[in-house]
Amino acid sequence: MLEKLGEVIRKATDKIANAIFLDKNLVDSIVRDLQRALLEADVNVFLVKKLTDKIKQTALDERVNGIEKKEHLIKILHDELLGLLGETKKLNIQKENRIIFLGLYGAGKTTTIAKIGNYFAKRGNKVALVGLDVHRPAAKEQLKQLAEKNNLDYFIDFDEKNALKTWKKFKPKLKDYKIILIDTAGRHTLDKELVDEISVLNKEINPTESILVMPADIGQAAKKQSEEFKNILNITGVIITRMDSTAKGGGALTACAETKAPVYFITTGEKINDIDEFNQKSFLSRLLGMGDLQSLIEKIRSVTDKEKQEKIKKQLEEGKLSLNDVIEQAKSMSSLGGFEKIKSMIPGLGNAKIPENLLESQQEKVAKWEHIIKSMTSKEKENPELLKKETSRISRVAKGAGVSTSEIRSLLKQYDMLNEMIKSGSSMDIDSTGMMNQKQMMKLAKKFGKFKKMKF
């Protein structure tokens, strides 16, 4: 993940802030650290040089002095980093949408299409997936399996070996769909045959959006690739895949900014929900360990359905929670992509040192909790206090669920903690627009700060 780069940038900021006097040596060492970190994140060499030159210049500018200068410098660092990431642009849905996906081999086009399809279908749009990858063996099967798994409509002709003909065949049927997502074969820009194919397709389809799919671990070749694809087709946006793991995406992200192709989404795993809208500011904020509550809230909203939310909200207001709710919460937590991913979005928790396997074992625990709860009577589920009063119930449940009694106690503890949290704080109101104001965010951040001390 991005921790290392974030750490270097944080350190650089600290160094600037704590320096009594910004002399050349200090500035040089800060600049060198920054350079290293950015280059290791695959950011284009020239961009790195440009950025660090600017920092140097500002730092050694003698017209500004003292505290003012430090603030100025930190601001410039942030602005420049933000500048590297380009402008924020959302993928806007219009009346009719024909979205074509292109990219190199193995960039993740087909998987991404399923994710995007699911993303828009969940938001109440009628989505169709069209498979025009006629070259790679089993590409069509892959799209079909993904579509079926996620209940998405698909149009695939298994016998046709010509992409254009396939498109023409399905065209009349596609009229009923609001969003049409088109999968194409992986290609690179030097292969004339494939370039010709896509040009012809492009003319016929007349897409409203042409999206380039790019892997996060791409190195210094990123710029050239994004440029060339842009030359052949009018790329309107980019999706960056494989943002999980150690890849920093610096190459892909900055290349897109440079070629003025906005990044719409980043994808972060193999599951269908592992996709995030890309927002430069949130990204930088997360990078610098300042958390990103806005995305967290958006994410929570996208995975929990309205009814459940209402129900939980009601119970929260009454200050009463059943064990079922604990599980429900824990489950939606794992469909958010697990604790590991959420960690980076919560302010203060991103830097907290939580042993890695602790988070993993937490997920295992949740799976066990489900079994435990299934072994309880409905009375016990509603009033977990019963278990504490009559401990023989605990051993009965333990036997039923095939776990040790200590595991049941830890579940009860978790329940108590959640209950207490709800009682202590006023329920976190999210106003009608769904936005949290700054104050509420701070409050929540504080609350989560306490979380750090929590023992799992």
Partner 1 sequence: MFKFFKEKIKNWAEKISKHGEKETEEEKSEKAKEPRRIIIKETPKDEKRESFLEKIKGKISKIKISEKEFEVYSEELEMLLIENNVALEVAQKIINELKEKIAGKEFLRKEVENEIRENLKEIIENILVEPFKIVDKIKEKISDQAKEPYVILFCGINGSGKTTTIAKIADHLKRNGITCVLAASDTFRAASIEQIKKHGEKLGMKVIAQDYGADPAAVAFDAVKYAKKNFINCVLIDTAGRMHTAKNLIREIEKISKVCKPDLKIFVGESITGNDIIEQVKSFDWALNIDGIVLTKADIDEKGGTALSVGYILKKPILYLGTGQEYNKIEVFDKKKFIEKLGL
Asked if 349 touches partner 1 (CB under 8 A), the answer is: no
- Terminal-to-terminal C-alpha distance of the chain: 23
Report the residue from 15, 50, 54, 135 that binds partner 1 according to the rule CB under 8 A: 135
Q: Which is nearer to partner 1, 166 or 241 (CB)?
A: 241
Rounded CA separation 393/386 (Å): 8
E-strand stretches of 63-124: 97-103
Positions 250 through 269 that interact with partner 1 (CB under 8 A): 250-251
Report the residue from 14, 17, 36, 123 that binds partner 1 according to the rule CB under 8 A: 36
Asked if 162 touches partner 1 (CB under 8 A), the answer is: no
Q: Using the rule CB under 8 A, give the single segment among 86-94, 241-249, 311-319, 430-438 that binds partner 1.
A: 241-249
Annotate each residue in 196-235 with x if it binds partner 1 (CB under 8 A) or - if it does not, as one string: -------------------xxxxxxxx-xx----------
Rounded CA separation 162/328 (Å): 47
Contacts of 56 (CB under 8 A, 6+ apart): 27, 28, 31
Q: Which is nearer to partner 1, 224 or 308 (CB)?
A: 224
Would strands 275-277 and 263-267 be described as parallel, antiparallel, or unpaired?
A: antiparallel
Asked if 106 touches partner 1 (CB under 8 A), the answer is: yes
CB-facing half-sphere around the CA of 47: CA atoms within 13 A:
27
Would strands 237-241 and 209-215 be described as parallel, antiparallel, or unpaired?
A: parallel
Question: Could you say which DSSP state residue 432 is in?
Answer: T
Q: Please say whether the beta carbons of 181 and 93 come within 8 A.
A: no
Q: Please say whether the beta carbons of 182 and 117 come within 8 A.
A: no
Report the residue from 22, 41, 287, 398 that binds partner 1 according to the rule CB under 8 A: 41
Asked if 274 touches partner 1 (CB under 8 A), the answer is: no
Q: Please say whether the beta carbons of 103 and 135 come within 8 A.
A: no
Asked if 141 touches partner 1 (CB under 8 A), the answer is: yes
Q: Using the rule CB under 8 A, give the single segment among 35-43, 81-89, 285-293, 310-318 that binds partner 1.
A: 35-43
Asked if 246 touches partner 1 (CB under 8 A), the answer is: yes
Q: Find, among 369, 288, 262, the residue nearest to 323 by Cα.
A: 369
Report the residue from 19, 31, 39, 316 that binds partner 1 according to the rule CB under 8 A: 39
Binding site residues, partner 1, CB under 8 A: 1, 36, 39-42, 45, 49, 104-108, 110-111, 135-146, 149, 188, 190, 215-222, 224-225, 241-242, 244-248, 250-251, 270, 356-357, 360
